[in-house]
Chains A and B, each alone.
Chain A
Amino acid sequence: MKRRIPLVICFGIGILMLAQFMIPHPISREFGSTVNKWYIVLAAFALVLAIGNLIRHHSTKIRRKKTDWPYSIVTLSGMVAMSIIGFAGGIDPDSLYQTIYLNVLAPLGSTMFALLAYYMASAAYRSFRARSLEATLLLAAAFIVMIGFMPFGQYISPRLPAFAEWIMKVPNMASQRGIMFGVAFGSIATALKIILGIERSWLGGKK
């Protein structure tokens, strides 16, 4: 029973949601809208679970003094402080919450991401070598696209930007479309398997 009821709910809702997407009747739309609202509320509960999980994970780490536990104190204090500041002082454009967000979190996030440029440059220098025909083709395509999309490209040759655009619009698009089709067919097959109860790992991993 524990397994059959979720399977029946999954099958019923799966078929109904599939049908309502195709049928533009007011009753079907109303049904779709109601289920969507349930989903929005459920998704918000997932956030509450995530917060609970975060607190539990980091408190355990601090209690047991696991590796890098002081960072867990920073995480938890940051979360508590921002919550208090947000609830007490509001989230308006001139609030303390927004000031901290823009002057602490935003620069930290940007800095972390900017470090990628250094790793990428170093990795490209060390590993981007024309070892085979495929690697040489990749290297040539990368050079053309990089130079073509740079403002310098048009000074080298006025045809270079158009050629770079052609690489993006023809070979790149063809491969992207192939990947998309593959992913789409895979998603449809997986969804059907879940709706029809063939794929049951979401129930707890047992067959």
Chain B
Amino acid sequence: MKWYEAISKIDRRIIYLCLTIFIILPFFVPFKLRQNIMPQTQQLFDFVESIPPRDKAVMISFDYTPQTMPECHPMAIALLKHCFARNIPVVGLSFDIQAPGLAVEALTTVVDELNHKASNHEDSLFYGKDYVYLGWKSGFTAAVLDMGESIAGVFPRDYFGHPVDSLPLMQKTRNYKDVAIAIVLSASAYPEYWVLYPQSRYGVKIGAGLTAVMAPKYYPFLQTGQFSGMMSGMKGAAEYEHLIVEKGYAEKLGRAETGMNSQSIVHLLIIIIIILGNIGFFFTRKDQKRS
């Protein structure tokens, strides 16, 4: 077998082995890469930064599943840290049936971490006052539209069974007028419908956290200003982590940073094998034409 035939027919098991090594390596040999912050991530960060403390709430729609957790979960963690560090109340909810478990985990992780560091009662975060998780609701389009009239009308009880009207945060967050921005963390078409229905009718500001594969579809929404910012994929999450660390809202970078290192190396490997495949292809074609 000629050399160019060999490089165009690499056994898939070798590719799988290289991929495994390249994915695992950054977890054992950590290194730091400088992130170039994309404008849309900066835009979302700046928007949250501009919300006055203890005023309107940030609504986070946790609509990702375990399958897309590595990309979207670090976004949720970074976003929650940013909001809580700036004393911005958070209202969480979900329309994807697999999401509540992850939403509860994200909220519990961040709240426990911050409460552990809190030096007094005032610094601590309390359920119902600083954050609320409303849970899951069926009938997505009708629910997001109806929340413009009354959030408690759509979610009479929260995820843990408390009457929503009895929670202090929800007494001042009646509908979209009391929401500074709704940020949708999703791997599907949910952010688009947030723009189509509640934004077109009630003018609520929308931000998004999407998987990298979904992000290209949403660039038109950024250009029109219908999105007030966007995090795309693990890179977006890593960038947001960098931004909150730079501003002093978090002490260390999160999981997206390590994930991004793995992803960068794997992308490099994929580029190399595609180039090798193409070199092999060209020489084989040349050979065939000659013969």
Q: Are A40's CB and B264's CB within 8 A?
A: no
Interface centre among B68, B149, B219 (most CB of A within 10 A): B219
Known: A102-B105, A149-B235, A152-B264. A40 touches B143 (CB 8 A): yes
Total A-B pairs, Cβ < 8 A: 158
Cα distance A139–B279 in the bound complex, in angstroms = 13
Q: Are B101 and A146 in contact (CB under 8 A)?
A: no
Q: Does A182 contact B (CB under 8 A)?
A: no
Given A117-B19, A129-B277, A146-B267: A151 and B220 within 8 A (CB)?
Answer: no
Alpha-carbon distance between A83 and B108 when the two chains are bound, in angstroms: 23
- Chain A residues contacting B154 (CB-CB under 8 Å) are 37, 40
Identify the interface centre among B34, B266, B269, B277: most chain A CB within 10 Å of its CB. Answer: B277
A165 within 8 A of B: yes
B139 interface neighbour in A44, A125, A130, Cβ under 8 Å: A44
Judge if B12 is at the interface, Cβ distance under 8 Å.
yes
Q: Is the CB of B220 within 8 A of A154?
A: no
Stretch in A66-74, A107-115, A190-198 touching the partner: A107-115
Does the CB pair A129–B278 fall under 8 Å?
yes
Cβ of A106: which chain B residues have Cβ within 8 Å of it? 66, 69, 101-102
Chain A's interface size range is 35 or more
Closest to A145 in B: B216
Which residues of chain B have C-beta atoms less than 8 A from A5's C-beta? none
Select which of B33, B36, B101, B260 is within 8 A of A161 by beta carbon: B36
A126–B277 CB distance below 8 A: yes
Residue B28 at the chain A interface, CB threshold 8 Å: no
Given A33, A114, A176, which contacts B220 in the complex, CB threshold below 8 Å?
Answer: A176
Give the chain B neighbours of A117 by CB distance below 8 A.
19, 23, 266
Can you list 24 contacts pairing A with B, beta carbon distance less than 8 Å? A21-B201, A36-B145, A39-B139, A40-B138, A40-B154, A41-B139, A43-B139, A43-B142, A44-B139, A91-B159, A93-B104, A105-B66, A109-B98, A110-B66, A113-B66, A114-B70, A118-B16, A118-B19, A130-B281, A146-B271, A161-B36, A165-B39, A168-B216, A176-B217
